[in-house]
Structure 1
Amino acid sequence: MERSESGERQISWAARSMPVLTAIGERFAADRPLDGLRISACLHVTAETAVLMGALRAGGAEIALAASNPLSTRDDVAEALRGYGVAVHARAGVDRATYYRHIHQALDLGPDLVLDDGCDLVNILHTERTDLLEGVSGGCEETTTGIIRLRQMAAEGALRFPVVAVNDTRTKRMFDNRYGTGQSTLDGIMRATNTMLAGRTVVVAGFGFCGRGVAERAKGLGARVVVTEIDAVKALDATLQGYEVRPMAEAAALGDLFITVTGNRDVVRGEHLAAMRDGAMLANAGHFDVEIDVRALDELAVEVHRGVRPNTDEYVLADGRRLLLLAEGRLVNLTAAEGHPAAVMDMSFSAQALAVAWLAGERARLAPGVYDVPEEIDHEVARLKLAAAGIGIDTLTGDQEDYLHSWRVGS
């Protein structure tokens, strides 16, 4: 089977579970809300992303796509996308220099709008490709990590165009971050290690929506779950949900499996690695490969055995203890597995597509800054998903509407 044919089969399979985005693509084909616009994107190059690219192309956009993670890139999907008219600058497993070169190549399109997954593309625009900034009138960001960076840029007055925080919709946080990350992270870990989680101690670093999903799924499989946090409210939430909450300095000696889900760097550091038990496994599901201090792990190790299993490297310490690093510290759910199920990405990418169309119409009226997705888009995505699943919901009666909107009506 030719590579492009293999990619087309994957895209077709994903589209079966993405009815909302498929319907939006059909609407875009009729309305052409993106006619004449150039979009540079830095996203995971997967079959689900390809369905999004198809919807944007149907809306009239010209697209150049780079990969937000070389280890998640599906080369056959990339080849199929090229056949669909998308300029794809991505290849699986490239080094850091090539990764950034691909982002530059995507930006060579001279974009009107940008789509980012982690803020690397936007960062390069503001540091190395400032010549293109005047032509960029808006963007979308899909990750917690990226939005943290963008809000800091906006606070410092450095952000030069409006960006929509697609990650922060209720549907995205619930469906993608919580259920998608929870399932796909454990899927990746089990594929990489063939480990039984029942009876094991799993340390989850971070109890945001993603961390909560990981903790719930691990608990459901019979693991003892320990949560580490820096936020007192989230730590209290974890405690009231029945999880054991400890600082990482204490949890390091307890865990069989460590999963970082924070969006920050050095969550697992050298002093934590030195305290871990023999055979402890280290996985990251928080985005970039900085959450686990891999350099410190390299320095502690006297031997490194690459590929003891697919996507699993064994680090032998001076005292004979072995630590297992999964997916090189990159996203384990996209490297060792296939990322979120297509049904999950149907929600996220539908919000993304509608946000792009909204931005195309509103960008001239928006000042530089970070904007929430309009609430009506979030509700529309949820309604479309329910309709696709054949699920109906109630509507308010006239009396109920009046009751909710008038302070004059007593109880």
Structure 2
Amino acid sequence: MPDYIVRDINLAPAGRLKIDWVRAHMPVLNAIREEFERERPFQGLRVALSIHLEAKTAYLAEVIRAGGADLAVTGSNPLSTQDDVAAALAAAGMKVYAWYNATSREYKDHLLHVLDCRPQIIIDDGGDLVNLLHTVRREQAAEVIGGCEETTTGVRRLEALNREGKLLFPMLAVNDAFCKFLFDNRYGTGESALSAIMRTTNLVVAGKDVVVMGYGWCGKGVAMRAGGLGARVIVCEVDPVRAIEACMDGYRVMSSEEAAGVGDIFVTVTGCRDVLGRRHFTRMKDGAILANAGHFDVEINKQELAGLAQSHSQARQNIEQYSLPDGRRIYLLAEGRLVNLAAGDGHPAEIMDMSFGIQALSARYIKDNAGAMDKKLYRVPELIDRRVASLKLKSLGIEIDRLTSDQQSYLNDWQQ
């Protein structure tokens, strides 16, 4: 029997077109793929991926496989898997266990199918594979030589394990690499989140009050893109330093309860839970639009929203309407899940080219240093960051200066 679980294998040709399109726009991964095909660094190794299963991540999977890996792939969010892309990977002979709109039970079963392959390296996005390897599949952890984590939420979960000394294998915090958070989190999230909101609602952003909940790198990107589209941007923060930064970047900064009565569009991007709840919903305007750009669907308290509503209906694809007793309507996009993937195609290919270059080289670093790393969370080595940046510059036809030997001596000599 075929070793895959996908919605419809006949969708594979459409998925292949998507993968081939992004491949043509990912020169960093293409260069790494050529290297992997020559050197086969993962030959004989089992690798598991839990990722947002769309075209760009599918191409990352193909690059890892080109390095010789025995690969198993699943999704990292029930609404971000694209069935045609999953089918395309399965048709190419890859182990794939994922489909769009999986139930909680199906989603967990797909993760467990990937772990049935007994991976030695994991590439995680959100920390679900790591969580299972520290709970229900703890006996498998000894086989894992290490792994990489893609996103802020997953890194936070790893940091908690690391603080408690409970991490069972080394992990690289890919999210914290410079080429990840400076470009993917800022430019990728900003563009893809606003693109998904506009495509889903078919409404203009210009002239509206857009409330950005959280001013980390992702929040900076959302605020920047919303402002560029002509919105009046409001930022809500719990960190006083970030709040001052947002103020000096030209945005209005206020408490979330004050912003609740002002905003037309709300975008949560904190990685925390209950960022918007009952105390906010009771203050919102008629027609307020809620979107989440964080990894898990916990930032907007859907239970409290449903509890306030007199009725709940589908207003449009990926838009739920909650009608309150006083006649106000509040709209929730993509069930409060990651809007740029659950209601869009995710970050642009050129942005993910760098992030997935970091992922691919980090996976190789784990393999090359197997047995030499402690069971803890590591930063991505600076050499990997610089190599990805150099490959990206080369693909853009950009040359930069180099320090002369005298300049290097000057910078490294404390006596000068």
| 1:191-213 Cα shifts (integer Å, max 9, x gaps) | 11111111110000000000000
Correspondence for 1:361? 368
Map 1:233-382 → 2, pairs under 5 A: 233-306=241-314, 308-382=315-389
Q: Which 5+ residue runs of structure 1 have no aligned equivalent?
A: none
Structure 1 residue 201 and structure 2 residue 223: aligned? no
Distance 1:59 1:284 in 2: 35
Shift of 1:402: 1.5
SS at match of 1:71: coil
Matched, 1:137 2:148: no
Question: Would you identify which runs of 4 or more consecutive aligned residues in structure 1 move more than 2 Å?
Answer: none
**Aligned counterpart, 2:16:** 8
Quote the Cα distance in structure 2 between the aligned partners of 1:274 and 1:107: 44
Match of 1:182 in 2: 190
Match of 1:391 in 2: 398
Offset, 1:381: 0.2
Residue type of the partner of 1:74?
Q
CA distance in 1, matches of 2:205, 2:13: 37
1:2 CA drift (Å): 4.5
2:287·2:330 contact (CA, 8 Å) conserved in 1?
A: yes
Other-structure match for 1:103:
111
- Distance (whole Å) between structure 2 residues aligned to residue 246 and residue 97 of structure 1: 40
SS at match of 2:310: strand
In structure 2, distance between residues paired with 1:61 and 1:392? 34
Measured after TM superposition, the shift of residue 370 of structure 1 is: 0.5
2:407 to 378, 397, 400: 400
Task: Provide the residue aligned with 2:5 in structure 1.
Answer: none
What is the aligned residue count?
408
**3-state SS in 2 of match to 1:259:** strand
For the Cα contact (< 8 Å) 1:162–1:363, is it kept in 2?
no
Q: Does 1:55 align with 2:63?
A: yes
Structure 1 range deviating more: 79-88 or 269-278: 79-88
2:65 aligned with 1:66: no
Distance 1:42 1:270 in 2: 33
Asked whether the 8 Å contact 2:10–2:87 carries over to 1, the reply is no
**CA distance in structure 2 between the aligned counterparts of 1:147 and 1:366, rounded to whole angstroms:** 18
1:35 equivalenced with 2:43 (yes/no): yes
Give the CA RMSD over aligned residues: 1.0
Write the deviation string for residues 348-399 of structure 1: whole angstroms up to 9, x where unpaired: 0000000000110112111111000000000000000000111110111122
After TM superposition, the score normalised by the length of structure 1 is 0.98
Percent identity among equivalent residues?
Answer: 51
Q: Aligned-pair distance for 1:123?
A: 0.5
2:93 and 2:220 map into 1 onto residues whose CA distance is 39
How many angstroms apart in 1 are the aligned matches of 2:122 and 2:405?
A: 43
Between the aligned partners of 2:365 and 2:93, the Cα distance in structure 1 is 23
Distance in 2 (CA, whole Å) between partners of 1:336 and 1:152 is: 30
What secondary structure sits across from 1:365 in the alignment?
coil
The 1-side partners of 2:183 and 2:250 are apart by: 22
